[in-house]
Chains A and B, each alone.
Chain A
């Protein structure tokens, strides 16, 4: 219920020289856990982490369409949890007002004007 001020908690994304969008996150040096965020330690085991890039491709784990008013967002909007290849599970917005096909391919296409991670999905 806090208002969106202060540091942006969403994953930081970069565009590579090849033009691909990737999440700039961390990977655990001990257990290889991928994390979409610049956290100081691995959330799974507490070991040290190093910078790692994930994406752009992944698979839709699940998806829904939010059809109620949520502060700062205009319904309806589609969301998907995407498991980036060899990477973390990230929450992303999907264009349109239909859920993304679960199990289907997804790829990062950048951030929305509001700073939300966006994916395109195979339909």
Chain B
């Protein structure tokens, strides 16, 4: 595929039900392919965006499956920016550190998966209701991790 100077956007809105996470993964994987990412990096962003949406369902919406999650992808020549928005309970920044990886217990890994892949992990405090998580992956050289 020939990449032109891109500044393109894809937006999806899903219900806050875990069964729609597979839709987010499918779209994220296709966006990764459009960006020219290799399979390993595509797997990584797919997992990271899935984890971010799972966190919205679990923590911001406390399992309420009747809400909305908006996932926005902004593709430029230099980066992929993914924004995940909800209208749920404000996230606790302290929680977003994840657990110590040496501490064997269920849970707390999702944040690590997100931060491992994305170069920027930013919770937008300007959003008055709910949360807006901004993730950026810079595309290096031949778009490899």
Are A and B part of the same complex?
Answer: no
A binding-site residues for B, Cβ under 8 Å: none
